[in-house]
Structure 1
Amino acid sequence: MKQILNIAHYEIMHIFRERVLLAILFIVPLLYASMFGMVYVSAILQHVPLGIVDLDHSQESRAVVSAFENTSNFKVIPQVSTYADLEAGMKNGLVRAGVVIPADYSQKLAQHQLTQILTVYDGSNLIYGFNTRKYFQQVLNTFSAEHTASYLSGLGMTKQEITNVMDMVSYSMEVWYNPTFSYATFIFMGLVLMIIQQIGLLGIGLTVTREKEENSWLQFLCAAVPQWKIFMGKALPYFIANFFNYGLLLWIAARFVNVKIEGSVGLILLLGLLFDLIIISAGFIVSVYFPNSLLVTRYLMLISVPIFVASGYSWPSTHIPVAINMLLRTMPYTWMAEGFRLLTVKNLSFAYIADKIMVLILMAAATTFFALTFPKRRKPPAQIGTAVNSALDLPNKNL
């Protein structure tokens, strides 16, 4: 028992001497729980952006519009008034669902003929897709029942006649972009991009720290070799390997996981190259400024989960608090994931992802600049904290 207590005493002293480890054990869990709670604070997805195309412009069609306006599940976007507006809005994200009322709606209604109201919604994001489908059914079923009750209120009809009238209004439903509701299409590539990011960062992030731990980094600093050559020599193998993984995982996703991957091959490659360049440059910068491999591994492990959860890939960014949204907009993964989904799932052209590509270009330029011009001087060893492959004194029992 005494040996167990001595080991426990040593471990406790080590935890309190290592501030990063102390934060991981006691602060990070609370931080994660708080952030996840803020991300999912709305709990229920409401106020889905809805475009209504009223081709009839009658009193009866306005009643349908009012039914959608008077529910908190939808938020009617007034800018959408034509089918072309609806298509454009679904592409650029202005709306996530649409209702099209036919031009002969009131006429068929008056003649007691079958009348269809077209409803469409964006299936590229399953969170929107599943909820929107349910909300459509709720609103239209309620509207149909109210219409029938109002119509029959002044008529003395038999039960069979009432049944026939209740079947008068129906609607058709289309799912755009992800009609099979494939969860793999929805989430798999987001996880793949996160794997590529973390593996790339970890690989390049341990290069300089490994040299520091083996006391060989000084050879690079003292050699008559400019910084940009050191960076390129160190980064090139990881850049090639990471881009190879990008292509390999795309092939596996499309071939074996049946993920929907469409769009321009050139744009897919461009996104991958920019994302890869940012990852490798940022990882090299981290490796230059961090004192050892252990700290690099810790911090890279900590950032993966919150970046993915709060990036807007798995939960709509419109329902994430503004402060978290602004913070995640500084991360390349957020822009890469958005652009990749728009390109491969919605099969959109360059015009719809130009802003994502431009941001990635700026991030690539910034990270590459700092990687190419890192200070060629040796940083003194840290006086406190864990150092890999070093002789850290054990805590004294008198502490």
Structure 2
Amino acid sequence: MNIKRLLKVRPVTLKNIFLLTIGPVLMTILFALVFSKIFVEQIPMGVLDLDNSSTSRNIIKQFEESPRFKVVYYAQSDDELNEAIKTKKVNVGFIVPHNFDKDAKTMKAPKTMLLIDESNIVIGNNALSYGSEILNTLNAKIQLNVLEANDVVPYAAQQSISSLSFTERILYDPQLCYMRYLMYALIGILLQQVYIGVIAPMLIEEKLNMVKMKLRSKTGLRRLLKIFIKIIVFGILAALGTTASIYVTGKYFDVPLRGNLIDYFIILAVFILDLTAVSFIFSFIFDAIDQCVRFSMFLSVPTFLTAGYVWPEYMMPPHFFDAVKKLWPLVYFINPLKTINLKGSDFSIILPYIKGGIYYAMFWLPIGVGLYLFKIVGFKLVTRKLLNSEESTN
């Protein structure tokens, strides 16, 4: 009998072990491969040279030789270039107007036009940055040549166009790599999905089983102990899977890992405790496993977008972020994970997140467990009434 029961449970157990340990690692590798290129390069570009002068051709040559752009289309009119952008043939358009060279030499400040397709902000923002960098450099060179052509001493010409200079220093992620920015959040979302996807269905299944037994009996207490042990084991497996995912991103995809094991352990333990509380709440709300799983999957995007990770909290409506922190714990994991790894911050910086996660668990875990037991007792009362009504009818 015990062997049959073991064989019956084993496939589900193996599936859960795979989801908690191997699943996050595989999905992390998949996401890392998608975002593996550090720079956005070879952006398709179209040009329209209405001046056809040596100056305009030199400007276009700079775009042609840049690894950031790939000039694939030479338009003959504004309409052709706009149509090429509209049909996704190119993502960037560049127009040199009539008489550009003549106006530049007479210092009339002619204007070129850079058309950016912002329907994809990743490509659009990079194209704007790259294009502005090229044009600013060329602008200084053209001004210098014009001044020298007008008999201005080279040193004076150089001084006149460099009266204001600046040096930029991009901190923490100077390469502006999307993978290094997003990967910490993706790891947190994967942990959230697989852990709730394992714990909540298990709790729902055990809830339905416990309706048939007395909670204070030896069988009932053993069942409660079994649930407790499962949560601990699955929590450890989830922590191992997430730790492996973090290690893989640092070892094979050069994602910065500047935290120490103690920091990782603390924020992982607190987050898993918070997710356990969420799982108890879900097991109270839902009686069907498939509905619970679908709902938890649905929450991935909104919880990510409202966690203050991609959209800053001060840009949200007043008190909105405070409500988010009270209702969902993702903010207490992905934000400190990014902070300690990208910035190399010490423990004092992530301590407010840890405290927030602990307060979240202290509030929601007792409520979740209480509601879970209340639901079991409620089911038992309803079942007893139904049995009594059937007996009285018979």
> Could you tell me which residue of structure 1 aligns to residue 377 of structure 2?
378
Larger Rg: 2
Matched, 1:218 2:212: yes
- 1:375 maps to a residue whose letter is L
For structure 1, which segment, 279-288 or 363-372, has the greater mean C-alpha deviation from structure 2 after superposition?
A: 363-372
> Could you tell me which residue of structure 1 aligns to residue 338 of structure 2?
341
- How far the C-alpha of 1:220 sits from its partner, in A, is 6.6
Query: d(CA) in 1 for partners of 2:238 and 2:311?
Result: 27
Which residues of structure 2 form unaligned runs of 5+? 1-120, 383-394
Q: Decide which of 232, 238, 263 is 1:236's aligned counterpart.
A: 232
Q: Decide which of 309, 327, 346 is 1:313's aligned counterpart.
A: 309
- How far the C-alpha of 1:371 sits from its partner, in A, is 4.7
Q: Decide which of 190, 200, 211 is 1:195's aligned counterpart.
A: 190
> Could you tell me which residue of structure 1 aligns to residue 174 of structure 2?
179
Contact 1:342 1:353 (8 Å CA) reproduced: yes
Matched, 1:364 2:358: no
Contact 1:209 1:293 (8 Å CA) reproduced: yes
- How far the C-alpha of 1:218 sits from its partner, in A, is 2.6
For structure 1, which segment, 242-251 or 229-238, has the greater mean C-alpha deviation from structure 2 after superposition?
A: 229-238
- How far the C-alpha of 1:356 sits from its partner, in A, is 0.8
Deviations for 1:214-250, whole angstroms, at most 9, x for unmatched residues?
x554337463445963541341222122111111111
| Aligned counterparts, 1:239-250, within 5 A | 239-250=235-246
Query: d(CA) in 1 for partners of 2:289 and 2:214?
Result: 18
The alignment's C-alpha RMSD in Å is: 3.6
Q: 1:348 to 1:363 in 2, by over 3 A?
A: same
Q: 1:379 to 1:297 in 2, by over 3 A?
A: farther
Helix, strand or coil at the partner of 2:330: helix
> Could you tell me which residue of structure 1 aligns to residue 299 of structure 2?
303
Deviations for 1:319-339, whole angstroms, at most 9, x for unmatched residues?
233354233222210122211
Matched, 1:277 2:276: no
Q: State the number of aligned residues.
A: 242
- 2:229 maps to a residue whose letter is G
Contact 2:259 2:344 (8 Å CA) reproduced: yes
Query: d(CA) in 2 for partners of 1:342 and 1:263?
Result: 9
Q: Decide which of 255, 259, 266 is 1:259's aligned counterpart.
A: 255
Query: d(CA) in 1 for partners of 2:379 and 2:265?
Result: 41
Query: d(CA) in 2 for partners of 1:219 and 1:254?
Result: 49
- How far the C-alpha of 1:209 sits from its partner, in A, is 2.0
Q: 1:281 to 1:238 in 2, by over 3 A?
A: farther
- How far the C-alpha of 1:157 sits from its partner, in A, is 7.3
Contact 2:271 2:333 (8 Å CA) reproduced: yes
Deviations for 1:14-50, whole angstroms, at most 9, x for unmatched residues?
xxxxxxxxxxxxxxxxxxxxxxxxxxxxxxxxxxxxx
Contact 2:280 2:369 (8 Å CA) reproduced: no
Contact 2:203 2:227 (8 Å CA) reproduced: no
- 1:255 maps to a residue whose letter is K
4+ long deviations beyond 6 Å? none
Contact 2:308 2:331 (8 Å CA) reproduced: yes
Deviations for 1:135-178, whole angstroms, at most 9, x for unmatched residues?
xx89xx7xx99xx9xxx9xxx97264552222354322211111
Helix, strand or coil at the partner of 2:176: coil
Deviations for 1:239-282, whole angstroms, at most 9, x for unmatched residues?
12211111111111111222111123211110011111111232
- 2:174 maps to a residue whose letter is P
Helix, strand or coil at the partner of 2:174: coil
Q: 1:361 to 1:272 in 2, by over 3 A?
A: same
Structure with the larger helix share: 2
Query: d(CA) in 1 for partners of 2:269 and 2:256?
Result: 21
Query: d(CA) in 2 for partners of 1:297 and 1:220?
Result: 28
- TM-score, length-scaled by structure 2: 0.53
- 1:198 maps to a residue whose letter is Q
Which residues of structure 1 form unaligned runs of 5+? 1-125, 384-399
- 1:183 maps to a residue whose letter is Y
Contact 1:228 1:372 (8 Å CA) reproduced: no
- 1:345 maps to a residue whose letter is L
Q: Percent identity?
A: 18
Contact 1:261 1:344 (8 Å CA) reproduced: yes
> Could you tell me which residue of structure 2 aligns to residue 23 of structure 1?
none
- 2:165 maps to a residue whose letter is S
Contact 1:262 1:347 (8 Å CA) reproduced: yes
